[in-house]
Structure 1
């Protein structure tokens, strides 16, 4: 039954960022059909940053009101909200309304904020839940988290992008008058079906979480349950713990070894430099480059934008997968 738990842990990890990753790879098909146009990636970047109020709220609740926030209840809420938002996106992503005299995709932007809130909050709720299980399932969870970018990218590649062609406005019956205008051919399957696919992925994530909570085989794989079961077996067989006369590691040495990583040998300037590099890399990866990607690809057409978005979403999980087979070096 361990295989079942591995599959469930992988499905839970897949649902962590599948909605937003799926939205990024679908932007080449959405951008030409909404009033925001090429500004939409910038809007999405800002919405994701605002959605970090979710992790902040969870962190503050754990700090100032420990035990008051139900971990299982929070996960049930955000995953259900994510699945519902994906389904609503499938039917209302093209709906517009006037805001300040200008047409905006209000439903799309509101639902994207809720999806961002779900995915950002999953980073601080899914991982503590998986820590209840044995350590080997944590690796499977991270594999699923990588698949949250790979799977939507593969589906988007299969979907393709509508090829644009220039048509004469007067011949096409355009009310705006004569002139050339872009006409986009439909992809292999619609944006609606893609959003419904994302909703199905969130539904699988919810089902996996329910089974991890209530399936007897999954509960037996929790770290505490495993320890208690082993203790009951040893007590029933009459085994008693024997204190070593000369332990392999003394208590002081054990404390020194466990705290060595925390103290380390880095100076404060080195620590500040490491965090600055991390902040710079994360800013480029999660804010700057996604926001300007549409403008960078604009001169090369919609097909180039589609390939750039999908391949970028697939690059991170593929790089992590390759890194598993590369040797690691540790310097003291």
Structure 2
């Protein structure tokens, strides 16, 4: 296999979610300078779900007008759009307009919508494009997708985003003429090492690198040798040809009921029950990893201290590409293993959710064992379920182009359901109470 092609596949995967991941890790620096404040994450969640119109359109086109949509052209458009939108954010993210007499960050919200459309649509375009390359390169693509979360997190860590300094604060209380003075630690965000503008330029450069990688994947001669069908990458087999081939390959020992029990896409290796099982696990896993647990990460970690929060975020970001690397060398295509790992990951997610519900006083809050457990839980959660996602991608890759389109659609569907479920719990019903990173007093 070509190392050059592996690098290009990784860079393409890196561009899939780097913009939105980067925007979220930059939030602690952004929210202090815009009128929306910490309500911005809630607005971003809604914009990301509205952006699912992009993958919905692509999926419907593949379903009802197969072969009409030029997949390569769509990828060029969305990567270019992501590059331009990231670049414009550096200039306009602080700009506000009066809406009903209230200042709003309209430019930031509009550009975020475009970035969300780019990243959501990548799920139903990048994966099917990888059908043109040999199966081994799909795992490399998922490594790049994991790096799309790790790289912005590392840059934000260097930038100093979210670093908190705990300072003594004096609080005076007047109770029936008696003045009492109390002291408590207050959290203050430290100034960043470089501005948000520089960070957005970095995101734009990453998208530009992704665009260059995609150009080389299409035109470089070394990549052409790694294609599954270099002469006809977009060939569409006619229905009559498929029917004739199936009739030729039929044997009298194959019962008609056995043929009908198989799925209608790809090789037909799996029954419809197995296909639904695979897609259910895919939706469930992506709902947990993309929406449900990320929305409560601060609630589950901050009560244990700011170090626990940063360790869990960084180590979880490292766990994603690590799981993809493991899947590259150990692609065990077992449906039983998928179920077992999904159950284990869900069990760990229940523990994390439980700690978030108990915030600001979760179990072992004043014990170092509690910090070790919550960081370890986040690592185990991401490592296990990321491995499951890659295995499902490898399985569906063998089922053909249509299977990978539906794979991307189900990924977005699971993320949508998770976001819609968690948004009212976090934003409206105040089901979760944030912990103080400078104080863990639960007496």
Q: Would you say same fold, with TM above 0.5?
A: yes
Mapped to 2, the partners of 1:198 and 1:186 lie a distance apart of 20
Q: Larger relative CO (CA 8 A, sep 6+): 1 or 2?
A: 1
User: Are the structure 2 counterparts of residues 260 and 182 from structure 1 closer, same or farther at C-alpha, using a change threshold of 3 Å?
Assistant: closer
CA deviation after TM superposition for structure 1 residue 128, in Å: 1.4
TM-score by length of 2: 0.57
How far residue 59 of structure 1 moved from its aligned partner, in angstroms, is: 1.1
- Corresponding position of 2:49: 49
* Paired positions, count: 295
Aligned pairs for 1:83-98 (under 5 A) are 83-98=83-98
1:263 and 2:271 are equivalent in the alignment: yes
Q: CA 1:114–1:150 in structure 2 vs 1: closer, same or farther (change >3 Å)? A: same
Q: CA deviation at 1:318?
A: 3.5
Name structure 2 gaps, 5 residues minimum: 170-185, 234-248, 337-443
Instruction: Give the conservation status (yes or no) of the 8 Å contact 2:19–2:82.
Output: yes
Q: Which residue of 2 aligns with 1:191?
A: 196
1:318 aligns with 2:322: yes
Secondary structure of the residue aligned to 2:158 is helix
Secondary structure at 2:16 match in 1: helix
* Contact 2:11–2:213, Cα closer than 8 Å, also in 1: yes
Pair 1:287 & 2:291 matched:
yes
> Deviation per CA, 1:163-215, whole angstroms, max 9, x where unpaired?
467799xxxxxxxxxxxx98754212221111111111100000011111111
**Residue equivalent to 2:8:** 8
Per-residue deviation, 1:299: 7.3
Q: Is the alpha carbon distance of 1:104 and 1:303 closer, same or farther for their aligned partners in structure 2, counting shifts above 3 Å?
A: farther
- Paired with 1:324 and 1:289, the residues of 2 have a C-alpha distance of 26
TM-aligned CA deviation for residue 31 of structure 1: 2.1
Unpaired stretches in structure 1, ≥5 consecutive residues: 169-180, 229-249
What residue in structure 2 maps to residue 238 of structure 1? Answer: none
User: CA offsets, 1:133-157, max 9 Å, x none?
Assistant: 1222222212211211121122122
Report the TM-score, using the length of structure 1 for normalisation: 0.74
Offset at residue 303 of structure 1 (A): 7.5
Q: Is the 2:143–2:322 contact (alpha carbons within 8 Å) kept by the matching residues of 1?
A: no
8 Å contact kept, 1:55–1:124 = yes
Distance in 1, Cα, partners of 2:137 & 2:284: 31
Instruction: State the Cα RMSD in Å.
Output: 3.6
Q: Answer with 97-106 or 280-289: which moved more.
A: 280-289
Q: How does 1:145-294 map to 2 (within 5 A)?
A: 145-161=145-161, 163=164, 184-225=189-230, 252=251, 261-263=269-271, 279-293=283-297
